[in-house]
Amino acid sequence: MKTTASGTTLFQLTQLGAINCYLVREDDGFTLIDTASSGQAQPIIQAAAKLGLPIVRIVLTHAHSDHVGSLDALHAALPTAQVAISERDARFLTGDQSLDPSEPQTRLHGGYPICQTKPTLLLHEGDRIGSLEVIATPGHTPGHISFLDTRNRSLIVGDAFQTLGGVAVAGTIKPLFPLPALATWNKDLCLASARKLLALQPSVLSVGHGRMLNQPQAAMERAIHILERALAHEHEHEHEHEERKASHVA
Ligand SMILES: [Zn+2]
C-alpha cells in the first residue's frame, strides 16, 4: 500500500490507487480508520510497523465492503485492538439490511458483507475516541460517520465526499470514478451531512477514494452547490410527475 503523510499525525494508506484507509497517531499507538478491501490486513499492519507504532484501535466510517473488507483478518491478527463502528451500521455487519420506519425508505446500494468480528464499541454523534470526535454523517449509508481530529481539525469523512475523479459529495456521479455515487443510499441526507462537515471548517479533507485535500472548504462548497442544484432539479421532476398523476386520477 502507498503511504502518504499529512503532518505528523495522519497517514493515508492507498490500495490500488483508489481505496484509502487511514492511520491516526495517538500517544498509545495508531487508530486505523477503515480497513480497505479484503486481503489488506498484512499490508496495513506492515505500514503501521514501518511508521513505528502498533494499531490499537480500528474504527469504521461505514459498513461497505471496501471499508470493512479486511476487518476480520485484522481482528484475528490484532485481537486486543478495540473495534468501533456506528450503532446503526453495526447492524449491517450481522447481515441485517432492514431500514428503520423512521428512515427514508430509499433503496440500499453497494456491498454490505457479513463480518464475524463483533464491535467492542458502538459510536454515536459527539463521542470521542482518542483525539477523534464522531460526526454523524448519514446518507451514503444510514449510519455513516466521519471523524474530526480535535488537535488540528483534519477531517476523515469516509465516502461522504470523494476527491477521485474530482471533488464531489456522495451521490454526485463522477464519470471517472462513479462507484461511491452508485453505492449511495440517500442523496438528501448526503447533502445535509456535507453541509455539516463544511461547517466544521476542516483544515484537511481525507476521503475513502482520492487524495487528501488541504484547505478544502472552497472545493467542498462548490461540490455542495452542484448536488444542491441536481437535487432541486430531481425534486422538481418528481413534483411534476406527482401532479400529472394527480390530474389523471381527477
Ligand atoms: Zn461506501
pTM of the predicted protein model: 0.95
Q: pLDDT-based confidence at 243, cuts 50/70/90? A: confident
Taking the centre of ligand 1 as the mean of its atom positions, its distance from the CA of residue 180, in whole angstroms, is: 6
Taking the centre of ligand 1 as the mean of its atom positions, its distance from the CA of residue 8, in whole angstroms, is: 27
Q: Which pLDDT value is given to residue 250? A: 56
- Residue found by looking up cell 478495540 in the block: 82
Taking the centre of ligand 1 as the mean of its atom positions, its distance from the CA of residue 183, in whole angstroms, is: 6
Task: Give the Cα separation of 213 and 117 in Å (integer).
Answer: 32
pLDDT beyond 70 at 52: yes
Taking the centre of ligand 1 as the mean of its atom positions, its distance from the CA of residue 244, in whole angstroms, is: 36
Q: Which pLDDT value is given to residue 246? A: 75
Taking the centre of ligand 1 as the mean of its atom positions, its distance from the CA of residue 66, in whole angstroms, is: 7
CB 33 within 8 A of CB 62: no
Residues measured by CB to lie within 5 Å of ligand 1, the ion: 64, 159, 183
CB 152 within 8 A of CB 162: no
Taking the centre of ligand 1 as the mean of its atom positions, its distance from the CA of residue 247, in whole angstroms, is: 40
Give Cα 164 to chain centroid, integer Å: 14
Taking the centre of ligand 1 as the mean of its atom positions, its distance from the CA of residue 139, in whole angstroms, is: 10
Instruction: Set out the domains of the chain in order of their start, with CATH numbers.
Output: 2-249 (3.60.15.10)
| pLDDT tens-digit series, residues 80-137 | 999 999 999 999 999 999 999 999 999 999 999 999 999 999 999 999 999 999 999 9
| pLDDT tens-digit series, residues 129-175 | 999 999 999 999 999 999 999 999 999 999 999 999 999 999 999 98
Task: Give the Cα separation of 88 and 111 in Å (integer).
Answer: 16
- What value, to the nearest 5°, has the Cα angle with vertex 204 and ends 148 and 68? 60
Taking the centre of ligand 1 as the mean of its atom positions, its distance from the CA of residue 152, in whole angstroms, is: 25
Residues 207-214 have a mean pLDDT of 98
Q: Which pLDDT value is given to residue 249? A: 60
Cell of 171: 451521490
The DSSP secondary-structure symbol of 98 reads P
DSSP character string of 28-57: TEEEEE---STT-HHHHHHHHHHTT--EEE
Taking the centre of ligand 1 as the mean of its atom positions, its distance from the CA of residue 205, in whole angstroms, is: 16
